[in-house]
Amino acid sequence: MTGLLDRPAVGTWIKLNTPASVEIMAYAGFDFVVVDLEHTTLNLETAQTMIALATASGLTPLVRVPDQSPSTIQRILDGGAAGILVPHVDSAEQAEAVARACRFPPHGTRGSGATGTAGRWGQLPRADYLRHGNENVLCIPQLESEAAVRETGRIAAVAGVNAVFLGAADLAMDIGGGERVPELLARAREQARAAGIPCGSAGGSAQAARQAFDAGDAFVVCSNDTSMLAAAATSLVAAARDTSPAA
């Protein structure tokens, strides 16, 4: 299994359509990046370039796929991703289908694509290629509804699921408000912990990340390239105007 879950890890979402974002995050010291194909217009070709650059830069490359389609999952894993985040997994049955899409037979249904990046363009011995896919690739369902929270224990117990990701924003929308969100997140964390499965979450700030780690999360996706650029640009303009000589 990849070492990403062996210690508290800090990552960020990649949303901008430029591989430079990945390189910048590597220099910044992040442990991993999540290339976001759910809430952006990024395509598979760009994602593969970002995966390769992240790997070369010492980052663990994860990808949030746009749906639970086995064909999408397979293409992303063939592209060399270290793992996937899968949105809106609400049941153990959905989690099992997703996990099987990540694994080769007899553990799953993933087809062989050893001539791609994941197989080092056909240079990786077949046994190593299959072993990597079945043992090292991370399958991380996102729990983003009250139904998913109720199912956390069963989802975490699915063979092939390596961690769960708690989606607080979508959970709040699902229940019609945020008052019960902390309670539901705590319940999900407790069930995952009982199953021996790590949790991850997202936070918009360093403080939110520290709070998530204090709650026991193994990895936190902190902010994103778009928001960091926007915040820095806004702060710079505001500071420059504040210090400009009076007219």
Distance CA 161, CA 196 (A): 11
Cβ contacts of residue 110 below 8 Å, gap of 6+? 70, 73, 74, 77, 100, 101, 102, 103, 104, 133
Number of helices (H), then strands (E), in the chain: 11, 8
- Distance between alpha carbon 231 and the CA centroid of its chain, in Å? 23
Kindly state the DSSP code that residue 108 receives in the 8-state scheme: -
Active site residue 39: yes
Distance CA 111, CA 68 (A): 16
Would you state the structure tokens that stand for residue 42, as one six-digit string?
Answer: 């990024």
Residue type, 84: I
Out of 39, 88, 107, 132, the active site residue is: 39
List of E strands, the chain = 9-14, 32-36, 60-64, 83-86, 138-143, 164-166, 199-203, 219-224
Question: Between vectors from CA 167 to CA 213 and to CA 226, what angle results, nearest 5°?
Answer: 85
Cβ contacts of residue 41 below 8 Å, gap of 6+? 17
β-bridge mates for residue 199, sequence order: 164
Asked if 110 contacts 133 with a C-beta cutoff of 8 angstroms, the reply is: yes
Catalytic residues: 39
